[in-house]
């Protein structure tokens, strides 16, 4: 009667029946345990995500995006205080998909002791690759700031050794650090402890001392540490008697000193900054150095960046105005009331630079008021304007 045992109805079974335990109860317990473990994993994952998002700013970004994998520093937009804020950088990124963007200079006390460090550190994921520029003179503060930069997902940290403003001089950082290459090396090494790529941005020298050997010794001393990446604003900083803006115009530009540095230190990454205003200069200089950094021209004539990308073979035509403004409107809508129209519009004045319709463009932008959000203003005024006045119909 083997068959009768095998096919005995279930309800006739005792709970202590051996086959019933192995076939039904144990699998059921195992199933529940498995479910519990799976759910626990999901709960823990959710808790991790929630706590991470609580720590992170709304538009902050904690890991590097696709752009970062592609960046190569051939072309970058300079750090510019009060100009290259996050809204400006978002706009420039639309125009220049692959260039490296630098933040405005942020001092280490502002990040470490300020009431609202997120204000300086947050950025939108689209801005990547983005480098945080730091100002300061204390290695420990640099190390801590670089760790924060890593947590926020910056593609690099850059030390400011070029700013000549009186306020910065009072803090004994910026350009006056050129007097103490040993300290610059310590600061760069402290930044490097974070594992984030480090660069320094410096001048040729200080005041009226025009001495290439001194510059070379500076680079030699600093590069004996961890830093391999130097961005050279190719003029001296005059610490006395010149305002910061005159310090970007008066001291003579010496691009040849930067290319000489590249010849003397071939294994270092040496980039040129200062006075690059046309495509011919980019073409010529990129044969001699590792990259060019563009400042004022990128801000005043943003399409120059798109043309530079075309020169580098990274895009085949200018971005369409309609597309640009609609994208910008989408970005502004993310901010809503927090982004009044003038705060974004001030960065796009140069979009029509040198093209027919430039004055009408600027006039329209000038009608933006803080009572309206950037998104509403773009939708109401600038998007319709762009449809009627695309620069694609005109030549520069
Ligand atoms: C408004 C403004 C703000 C600047 N702020 C910074 C800054 O925060 N950090 C820095 O290293 N350089 C700063 N610079 C200097 C630029 O990064 C760049 O070195 C300089 O403008 C020379 O490049 P360019 O001739 O292409 O403009 C600033 C320049 C301008 C015009």
Q: What token pair was written down for 334?
A: 């993310």
Instruction: For 112-130, write each residue's pLDDT tens digit.
Output: 999 999 999 999 999 999 9
Q: How far apart are the C-alpha atoms of 294 and 250, rounded to whole Å?
A: 18
Nearest atom within ligand 1 for CA of residue 275 = 25
Strand 75-77 and strand 291-294: pairing? Answer: parallel
Q: How far apart are the C-alpha atoms of 335 and 329, rounded to whole Å?
A: 10
Q: How far apart are the C-alpha atoms of 181 and 215, rounded to whole Å?
A: 10
Residue 387 — very low, low, confident or very high, per pLDDT cuts 50/70/90?
Answer: confident
How many angstroms separate the alpha carbon of residue 84 from the centre of ligand 1?
10
Q: Is the CB of 202 under 6 A from ligand 1?
A: no
Res 21: pLDDT: 64
The answer to whether residues 61 and 152 touch, using CB atoms and an 8 Å cutoff, is yes
Res 32: pLDDT: 78
The answer to whether residues 137 and 124 touch, using CB atoms and an 8 Å cutoff, is no
- Three-class DSSP category at 6: helix
The answer to whether residue 181 scores a pLDDT higher than 60 is: yes
The answer to whether residue 243 scores a pLDDT higher than 70 is: yes
- Tracing tokens 């950082």 back to the chain, one arrives at 173
DSSP per-residue codes, 242-286:
--TTGGGTSSPP-HHHHHHHHHHSTTSEEEEES---SHHHHHHHT
> Annotated active-site positions, please?
163
The answer to whether residue 60 scores a pLDDT higher than 70 is: no
Q: Mean pLDDT across the stretch 256-273?
A: 98
Q: How far apart are the C-alpha atoms of 135 and 105, rounded to whole Å?
A: 6
Q: How far apart are the C-alpha atoms of 119 and 135, rounded to whole Å?
A: 16
The answer to whether residues 95 and 306 touch, using CB atoms and an 8 Å cutoff, is yes
- Bond prior to 129 in cis (omega within 30° of 0): yes
Report the sign of the C-alpha dihedral through residues 353, 83, 54, 69, in that order.
positive
Q: Where are the alpha helices (DSSP H) in 56-165?
A: 66-70, 86-95, 108-112, 117-121, 139-152
Residue scoring higher pLDDT (5 or 383): 383
Nearest atom within ligand 1 for CA of residue 245 = 31
Q: Mean pLDDT across the stretch 48-72?
A: 40
The answer to whether residue 97 scores a pLDDT higher than 80 is: yes
Residue 197: name the closest of 108, 289, 102, 110 by CA.
102
Q: Is the CB of 143 under 6 A from ligand 1?
A: no
pTM over 0.85: no
The answer to whether residues 177 and 183 touch, using CB atoms and an 8 Å cutoff, is yes
Nearest CA to ligand 1 atom 15: 80
């Amino acid at each position: 009667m083997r068959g009768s045992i095998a096919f005995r109805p279930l309800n006739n079974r005792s709970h202590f029946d051996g086959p019933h335990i192995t076939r039904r109860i144990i699998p059921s317990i195992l199933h529940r345990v498995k479910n519990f473990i799976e759910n626990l994993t999901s709960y823990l994952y959710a808790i991790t995500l929630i706590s991470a998002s609580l720590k992170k700013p709304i538009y902050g970004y904690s890991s590097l995006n696709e752009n970062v994998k592609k960046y190569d520093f051939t072309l970058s937009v300079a750090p510019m205080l009060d100009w290259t804020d996050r809204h400006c950088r978002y706009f420039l990124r639309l125009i220049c998909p692959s260039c490296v963007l630098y933040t405005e200079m942020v001092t280490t006390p502002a990040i470490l002791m300020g009431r609202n460090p997120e204000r300086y550190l947050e950025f939108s994921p689209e801005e990547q690759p983005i480098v945080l520029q730091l100002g300061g003179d204390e290695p420990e503060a640099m190390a801590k700031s670089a760790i924060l930069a890593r947590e926020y997902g910056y593609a690099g940290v850059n030390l400011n050794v070029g700013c000549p403003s009186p306020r910065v001089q009072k803090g004994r950082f910026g350009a006056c650090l050129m007097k103490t290459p040993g300290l610059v090396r310590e600061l760069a090494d402290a930044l490097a402890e974070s594992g984030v790529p480090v660069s320094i941005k410096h001048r040729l020298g200080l005041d009226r001392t025009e001495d290439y050997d001194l510059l070379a010794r500076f680079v030699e001393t600093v590069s004996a540490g961890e830093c391999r990446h130097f961005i050279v604003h190719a003029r001296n900083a005059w610490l006395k008697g010149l305002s910061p803006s005159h310090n970007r115009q008066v001291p003579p530009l010496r691009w040849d000193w930067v290319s000489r540095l590249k010849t003397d230190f071939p294994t270092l990454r040496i980039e040129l900054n200062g006075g690059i205003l046309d495509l011919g200069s980019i073409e010529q200089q990129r044969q001699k150095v590792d990259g060019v950094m563009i400042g004022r021209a990128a801000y005043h004539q943003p399409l120059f960046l798109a043309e530079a990308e075309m020169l580098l073979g990274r895009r085949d035509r200018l971005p369409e105005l309609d597309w640009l403004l609609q994208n910008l409107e989408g970005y502004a809508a993310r901010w809503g009331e927090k982004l009044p129209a003038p705060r974004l519009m001030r960065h796009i004045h140069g979009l029509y630079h040198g093209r027919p319709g430039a004055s009408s463009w600027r006039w329209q932008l000038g009608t933006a008021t803080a009572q309206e959000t950037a998104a509403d203003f773009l939708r109401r005024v600038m998007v319709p304007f762009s449809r009627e006045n695309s620069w694609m119909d005109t030549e520069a």
